[in-house]
Amino acid sequence: MATIDYKQFITKDLTSLANDSIAELIEKAKKYDDVVSLGRGEPNFDMAKFMKDAMICAIKENQTHYVSGSIPELNGAIADKLKNENGLHIDSQFRIVVGAGSLPVLQAIIGAIVEPGEEIIVTDPTYLKYISIIRSMHAKPKFAIVYEENNFIPTVEELEKAYTNKTKAIMVNSPCNPTGAVFTKKQLEEIAEFAIEKNIIVITDEVYENIIYDDAKHYSIGSFDSDISERTITLNSFSKSYAMTGLRVGYAAGPIELMKHVFNYNYFGHICACVPSMYAALEALTNPKSKEFVQSMVKEYDRRRKFIVKRLNEIGLPTKMPKGAFYTFSRCDNFDKNSHNFANNVLEKSHVIVIPGSAFGPHGEGFVRISYATKYEQIEEAMDRMEKLLK
Ligand SMILES: Cc1ncc(COP(=O)(O)O)c(C=O)c1O
């Protein structure tokens, strides 16, 4: 039995990070052997064979040593992609930093730009890990509330409310986890105007850019004009687009004067992403078969999206049609105002995992996040079970 009180050694900013509500659900789910999880935050598809082959080939050719941040071919391929697909203005004042997934790179960005106590605006609800990363860097997330009636897009009025003289940056996430919202060009232009007026940095997380439906179009805020591109860091990843979450390759791109510090931060902690994984990522960007691979995944997500939104609305969980990513953000407050209790009940009685909206911020309360990155038949089964419970 330890005689030391270890709490005295742990920073307070970290002790507030645990999300007990999700951990409790996942732990409880282990008791049942027929659980259907609609909690997944990653593609249920496997990586394409041609990407696997590139990785295996890299290992066989002994590409297994440290590199300084990235393999140069990958930086070149990312630069081409950002220029041709995202319309970013790539020149000598621009730099790309590759890391072991977008999250470590985001940590490096935040580590590079904030002093303890400074603030970063995030939406409420938001992707949970933004809050954890910001707090772990001894900074503060400031919430700009988003409402369902505005399609979960922040208004300038809410951004103004979140802004203080300690604000250093704003996080933008389109397509959005957990709401599935996709920002229009006009909405992004308003955020750009706000950031310029307040003289803050924009960090735009575009990891779901390829998972987009109907007439929705993905815009990169950093592509608009030089006033906004010179204060924007674009974050992206191979995890979702190419179903390679476990390989850990992500990147950020932005003005060299910011990115050289982000590079250092990332380099001190990681040196580089996994080198064979970077060869798989290079293949993803350069092999013409990639587009077809991505399209086939998106087509299947779309089929599931239409099915699940219809069923959820029929069951009595009002759900707007998401425009991107692979989540619905569904109202559960007509059954239970407390989303944790609702999710707990669904798990106990139907053996289905859904994630309480309160886990994504105070204004996620009354909603649940439901992922359709699960096989169609499993989604059917989950909907049947939930219907039996709720109707
Ligand atoms: C919005 C968002 N950003 C980033 C990530 C993490 O991506 P990566 O695997 O590149 O670290 C996720 C994963 O769920 C996400 O939902």
Q: In the 3-class helix/strand/coil scheme, how is the chain assigned residue by residue?
A: CCCCCHHHHCCHHHHCCCCHHHHHHHHHHCCCCCCEECCCCCCCCCCCHHHHHHHHHHHHCCCCCCCCECCHHHHHHHHHHHHHCCCCCCCCCEEEEEECCHHHHHHHHHHHHCCCCCEEEEEECCCHHHHHHHHHCCCEEEEEECCHHHCCCCCHHHHHHHCCCCEEEEEEECCCCCCCCCCCHHHHHHHHHHHHHHCCEEEEECCCCCCECCCCCCCCHHHCCHHHHCCEEEEEECCCCCCCHHHCCEEEEEEHHHHHHHHHHHHHHHCECCHHHHHHHHHHHHCCHHHHHHHHHHHHHHHHHHHHHHHHHHHCCCECCCCECCEEEEECCCCCCCHHHHHHHHHHHHCEECEEHHHHCHHHCCEEEEECCCCHHHHHHHHHHHHHHHC
Ligand 1 lined by 101 (C-beta under 6 Å): yes
Residue 18: per-residue pLDDT: 59
pTM: 0.96
Nearest residue by C-alpha to atom 7 in ligand 1? 102
- Is the residue at 365 inside a domain? yes
Token look-up 């399609």 returns 151
Residue 8: per-residue pLDDT: 85
Q: Give me the mean pLDDT over the 181-197 stretch.
A: 98
For residues 114 and 261, give the distance between their C-alpha atoms in angstroms, rounded to a whole number.
12
Residue 331: per-residue pLDDT: 98
Residue 85: per-residue pLDDT: 97
Q: Give me the mean pLDDT over the 188-213 stretch.
A: 98
For residues 217 and 86, give the distance between their C-alpha atoms in angstroms, rounded to a whole number.
11
Asked if residue 300 and residue 276 are part of one domain, the reply reads: no
Asked if residue 83 and residue 208 are part of one domain, the reply reads: yes
Ligand 1 lined by 229 (C-beta under 6 Å): no
- Is the residue at 382 inside a domain? yes
- Is the residue at 177 inside a domain? yes
Ligand 1 lined by 103 (C-beta under 6 Å): yes
Q: pLDDT digits over 12-43, tens only?
A: 777 666 566 788 888 999 999 999 999 989 99
Asked if residue 150 and residue 265 are part of one domain, the reply reads: yes
For residues 174 and 154, give the distance between their C-alpha atoms in angstroms, rounded to a whole number.
12
Q: What residues form DSSP beta bridges with 121? A: 142, 170
Q: Give me the mean pLDDT over the 83-111 stretch.
A: 95
CA 291 to centroid of chain Cα atoms: 21
Residue 6: CB atoms within 10 A of its CB come to 7
- Is the residue at 305 inside a domain? yes
Asked if residue 186 and residue 298 are part of one domain, the reply reads: no
Asked if residue 21 and residue 162 are part of one domain, the reply reads: no
Half-sphere exposure of 204 (CA within 13 A, CB side): 29
Q: Phi and psi dihedrals of 353, rounded to 5?
A: -95, 125
Q: Containing domain of residue 306, as a range?
A: 6-46+291-390
Q: pLDDT digits over 114-159, tens only?
A: 999 999 999 999 999 999 999 999 999 999 999 999 999 999 999 9
Asked if residue 240 and residue 278 are part of one domain, the reply reads: yes
- Is the residue at 1 inside a domain? no
Q: Give me the mean pLDDT over the 349-367 stretch.
A: 96
Of 253, 287, 321, the residue that ends a domain is: 287
Asked if residue 367 and residue 320 are part of one domain, the reply reads: yes
Residue 17: per-residue pLDDT: 64
Ligand 1 lined by 205 (C-beta under 6 Å): yes
Residue 16: per-residue pLDDT: 64
Ligand 1 lined by 210 (C-beta under 6 Å): no
Ligand 1 lined by 281 (C-beta under 6 Å): no
For residues 385 and 347, give the distance between their C-alpha atoms in angstroms, rounded to a whole number.
10
Q: Which of 106, 171, 176, 177 most suits a substitution to test ligand 1, by most atoms within 8 Å of the C-beta?
A: 177
For residues 283 and 55, give the distance between their C-alpha atoms in angstroms, rounded to a whole number.
9
pLDDT band at 381, cuts 50/70/90? very high
Domain at 351, CATH number? 3.90.1150.10
Strands 250-255 vs 94-99: parallel, antiparallel or unpaired: antiparallel
Report the mean per-residue pLDDT for the chain.
95
Going from the Cα of 342 to the center of ligand 1, the distance in angstroms, rounded, reads 26
- Is the residue at 331 inside a domain? yes
Asked if residue 183 and residue 233 are part of one domain, the reply reads: yes
Residue 19: per-residue pLDDT: 64
Of 287, 315, 348, the residue that ends a domain is: 287
- Is the residue at 81 inside a domain? yes
Cα-Cα-Cα-Cα dihedral of 352, 343, 21, 158, to 10°? 120
Residue 12: per-residue pLDDT: 75
Domain at 118, CATH number? 3.40.640.10
Residue 326: per-residue pLDDT: 98
Asked if residue 326 and residue 242 are part of one domain, the reply reads: no
14-23, 48-57, 162-171, 213-222: segment of lowest average pLDDT = 14-23
Q: Tell me how many domains the chain contains.
A: 2
For residues 11 and 132, give the distance between their C-alpha atoms in angstroms, rounded to a whole number.
13
Strands 119-124 vs 140-145: parallel, antiparallel or unpaired: parallel
Asked if residue 126 and residue 56 are part of one domain, the reply reads: yes
Q: Give me the mean pLDDT over the 95-109 stretch.
A: 97
Q: Give me the mean pLDDT over the 209-238 stretch.
A: 97
340 neighbors 356 (Cβ within 8 angstroms): yes
Asked if residue 142 and residue 89 are part of one domain, the reply reads: yes
Cα-Cα-Cα-Cα dihedral of 146, 147, 148, 154, to 10°? -40
Going from the Cα of 207 to the center of ligand 1, the distance in angstroms, rounded, reads 6
Of 287, 313, 340, the residue that ends a domain is: 287
Asked if residue 311 and residue 210 are part of one domain, the reply reads: no
- Is the residue at 386 inside a domain? yes
For residues 64 and 59, give the distance between their C-alpha atoms in angstroms, rounded to a whole number.
6
Q: What is the CA radius of gyration of the chain?
A: 21
